[in-house]
Amino acid sequence: MRDSSYKVQEEGLIRSDISEYLKRHEDKDLLRILTCGSVDDGKSTLIGRLLYDSHMIYEDQLKKVTEDSKIYGTTDADFDPALLTDGLKAEREQGITIDVAYRYFSTDKRKFIIADCPGHEQYTRNMATGASTSNLATILIDARYGVITQTKRHSFICSLLGIKHVVVAVNKMDLVDWSESTFEQIKNDYNAFVSRLNFSDIHFIPLSALKGDNVVEHGNNLIWYDGPTFLHHLENVNISTDRNLIDMRFPVQYVSRPNPDFRGFSGTLASGVARVGDVVASLPSRQQSKIKSLYGPDGEVPEAFAPQSVTITLEDEIDVSRGNMIVPVNNIPHIGNEFEAMVVWMHDSPAQAGKSYLVKHTSNMIPGVLSEIRYTVDINTMQRSKSIEEKVPIDSLKLNEIGRCHMTLHRPIAFDPYDRNRTTGAFIIIDRLSNATVGAGMIVDRIASKPDHKKAPVSQNIVRSDSLVSAEDRQKLLSQKSITIWLTGLSGSGKSTIALQLEKDLLEQGHLCYILDGDNVRHGLNRDLGFSMEDRKENIRRIAEVAALMNDAGVIVITSFISPYISDRTAARSVIGDERFIEVFVDTPIEICEHRDPKGLYKKARAGEIQQFTGISAPYEAPQAPELTLCTEELVPPVAAQIISDCLKKRSIIC
């Protein structure tokens, strides 16, 4: 058992100085935890054991649970920890969790809110609800069965909903004789699966929720494990860097007019920091002003940060109302009425493509249309539906299904990708007749990924002319097949350096190739384009068309573009042809790129001199399944170029 001196100190402080007690708890960090896993993996038991062993249960509550354990208990003991969270009668009768149960407790280091989520497949929507606000996910695995389908399902949803920290709790170690080899096998199996997900921090802890080993105290049965206990890890996991303090976003919830001389805008900071004197804009009107004052719960403050609730006053009388968003003028989110999102459908009535719904985004409620369901995801295998390749339209999205959808709203909103901002990148879908919440969405892209080349050309009375020279003739002449090598990555990742080295190597081997470089094409072909979202999209479209023409001529094309959006790269692949497109992800951490900063762009972006700079004030969407990934933190350019060259030989592009 954990030492109870902390609890005694707290009780003494309550009696002697209640104000100091409240202040001490107010200043503690809050960690929101999600527990998920398959049915009967021990989620509720783990939470109950955590509360019991950390002395966070009231005496009357403990007495009630002890009594109920004799009626509903599943452990053949006088005390069943699971009954501390399974509060519904149906849950106790069946010994399962049906709805999300929230429990609050506190230690001397941190405050916690735990969401106990159901494990059944039909309650996936309940699990998604609990995950939407969590900082950390606890994935329970029954040591007897290892990584199963439901483990993968819940891990995928946690990744989709932006949870970065994961604790894999391998439970019921007592039922496998506390076997270290079993634990290591489960660890290897899970790591092999999770490599495709977007987790940044994974810890594995073997434990027995029923016996208490490694929950609060280590116990005597897992002496081969030298890591932290479950509670120790929860108390010390670092979540301070998870908050987005770069992009200030303030959705206005209420216009405060207590008297004729005061006009303030109240709401909760979704991200970033707001300071008196900041130059801001109201979206979507883009009218500008300066922050005159900031008011928190205790009065006027010089600055505020997410997720504080504040009231902002401005120096100028510009038009700001509920549903608008106040943002810095040099860091503006996307503004538009179309976007693509991953949607979790949460209602028995299926989603219908083309049907009108209400969309609630921050403090906005806007009519909109679910224009298209592009594909669905099998969350058991993480595979997309085949409808994209087979050109078969998807008309509906069933209960608990997840799909990528194109949404069209009746008026523009300001939004960010969900992986950058979980508040301004999320929305819910409401049925217009029943007023029921039917879906939840995470924005992944600013506009629908519909390649422009599919649209009919503006010019009329034009026809394509065929050449008298075949592709085979050109390949025979050049002793090579045509291909486009599409290098993508952050500025400073090394794309251009690798491209130059690869071009030199290929020419020395006697192969005709040419580089299309991001800066070079903007001096001529794309000199009329800026760096807005629309111009970036057009920039990539033109490059893809040029690359396709050069491929038709038999040339090996090497492109070096940041090309930050998945949709644009997908469109480029569609223009060039999948069989002639090799996507190479030059994967370099932004810290390394910023340290290199060969053009001084990161420094300017940090100073606010460059707007919508990828990685700083604009997102970069990493490739999901590139043909090659080059980690230039470790690879030197000649080696990276050789890897690409070897890939071309393996594909019989060159000899």
Range of the domain at 299: 250-328
Closest Cα partner for 323 from 255, 421, 422? 255
463 domain residue, yes or no: no
59 domain residue, yes or no: yes
By the 8 A CB rule, do 50 and 40 touch? no
Q: Stretch 276-299: mean pLDDT, rounded?
A: 91
Q: How confident is the model at residue 91 (pLDDT cuts 50, 70, 90)?
A: very low
For the range 52-58, what are the long-range contacts, defined as Cβ-Cβ under 8 Å and sequence gap of 24 or more? Answer: 52/79, 52/81, 52/84, 53/1, 53/2, 53/212, 53/215, 53/216, 53/217, 53/231, 54/2, 54/105, 54/107, 54/216, 54/231, 55/2, 55/4, 55/7, 56/105, 56/106, 57/84
By the 8 A CB rule, do 155 and 109 touch? no
Which of 205, 240, 275 is where one domain is finished? Answer: 240
By the 8 A CB rule, do 359 and 338 touch? no
Give yes or no: residues 137 and 214 share one domain. yes
Domain count, the chain: 4
pLDDT of residue 170: 95
pLDDT of residue 434: 92
- Specify the DSSP class assigned to residue 350: P
- Specify the DSSP class assigned to residue 456: P
Rounded to a whole number of angstroms, the CA Rg of the chain reads 28
Q: How confident is the model at residue 208 (pLDDT cuts 50, 70, 90)?
A: very high
End-to-end CA distance of the chain: 69
Which of 283, 311, 328 is where one domain is finished? Answer: 328
Per-residue HEC secondary structure of 150-210 comes to HHHHHHHHHHHCCCCEEEEEEECHHHHCCCHHHHHHHHHHHHHHHCCCCCCEEEEEECCCC
Per-residue HEC secondary structure of 5-44 comes to HHHHHHHHHHHHCHHHHHHHHHCCEEEEEEEEECCCCCHH
Give yes or no: residues 107 and 204 share one domain. yes
Integer angstrom CA distances of residue 336 from 287, 405, 536? 17, 16, 16
Q: How confident is the model at residue 162 (pLDDT cuts 50, 70, 90)?
A: confident
631 domain residue, yes or no: yes
Q: How confident is the model at residue 136 (pLDDT cuts 50, 70, 90)?
A: very high
Q: How confident is the model at residue 95 (pLDDT cuts 50, 70, 90)?
A: very low
457 domain residue, yes or no: no
Integer angstrom CA distances of residue 346 from 126, 384, 398? 9, 19, 8
pLDDT, tens only, 580-633? 999 999 999 888 988 888 888 888 888 777 777 888 877 888 888 899 999 988
Which of 386, 412, 445 is where one domain is finished? Answer: 445
Indicate if the pLDDT at residue 252 is higher than 50. Answer: yes
460 domain residue, yes or no: no
Indicate if the pLDDT at residue 50 is higher than 90. Answer: no
For the range 93-99, what are the long-range contacts, defined as Cβ-Cβ under 8 Å and sequence gap of 24 or more? Answer: 95/40, 96/39, 96/40, 96/120, 97/43, 97/44, 98/123, 98/126, 99/123, 99/126
pLDDT of residue 4: 52
- Specify the DSSP class assigned to residue 427: E
- Least-confidence region, from 135-139, 156-160, 276-280: 156-160
d(CA 316, CA 335): 23
pLDDT of residue 449: 43
- Least-confidence region, from 22-26, 254-258, 436-440, 570-574: 22-26
Give yes or no: residues 233 and 272 share one domain. no
Give yes or no: residues 409 and 425 share one domain. yes
Phi and psi at residue 257, to the nearest 5°: -130, 70
pLDDT of residue 63: 61
Greater confidence (118 vs 143) lies with 143
d(CA 320, CA 308): 20
Give yes or no: residues 52 and 157 share one domain. yes
% of the chain with per-residue pLDDT over 70: 82
Give yes or no: residues 226 and 255 share one domain. no
Q: Return the amino acid letter for 470.
A: S
d(CA 489, CA 639): 17
Greater confidence (215 vs 119) lies with 215
Residue 648 parent element (H or E):
helix 637-650
d(CA 499, CA 505): 10
Q: Is 540 helix (H, G, I), strand (E, B) or coil?
A: helix
pLDDT of residue 393: 66
Give yes or no: residues 494 and 607 share one domain. yes
489 domain residue, yes or no: yes
pLDDT, tens only, 513-565? 999 987 788 888 888 777 766 778 888 999 999 999 999 889 999 999 988 88
523 domain residue, yes or no: yes
pLDDT of residue 278: 93
Q: Stretch 208-223: mean pLDDT, rounded?
A: 90
Give yes or no: residues 441 and 504 share one domain. no
d(CA 80, CA 92): 11
Give yes or no: residues 536 and 594 share one domain. yes
pLDDT, tens only, 377-423? 877 666 777 544 455 667 888 888 888 999 989 888 999 999 889 89
Give yes or no: residues 580 and 638 share one domain. yes
**Domain CATH code at residue 412:** 2.40.30.10
299 domain residue, yes or no: yes
Indicate if the pLDDT at residue 448 is higher than 50. Answer: no
Q: How confident is the model at residue 176 (pLDDT cuts 50, 70, 90)?
A: very high
Give yes or no: residues 59 and 175 share one domain. yes
Greater confidence (363 vs 606) lies with 363
pTM above 0.75, yes or no: no
By the 8 A CB rule, do 624 and 566 touch? yes
Integer angstrom CA distances of residue 34 from 132, 158, 241, 441? 9, 9, 19, 19
pLDDT of residue 139: 92
70 by Cβ neighbours in 10 Å (0-12 / 13-18 / 19+) ranks as exposed
Q: Return the amino acid letter for 154.
A: H
For the range 284-290, what are the long-range contacts, defined as Cβ-Cβ under 8 Å and sequence gap of 24 or more? Answer: 284/324, 284/335, 284/411, 284/412, 284/413, 284/414, 285/318, 285/319, 285/324, 286/332, 287/318, 287/319, 288/316, 288/318, 288/329, 289/314, 289/315, 289/316, 289/318, 290/314, 290/315, 290/316
Give yes or no: residues 317 and 406 share one domain. no
- Least-confidence region, from 233-242, 253-262, 321-330, 522-531: 522-531
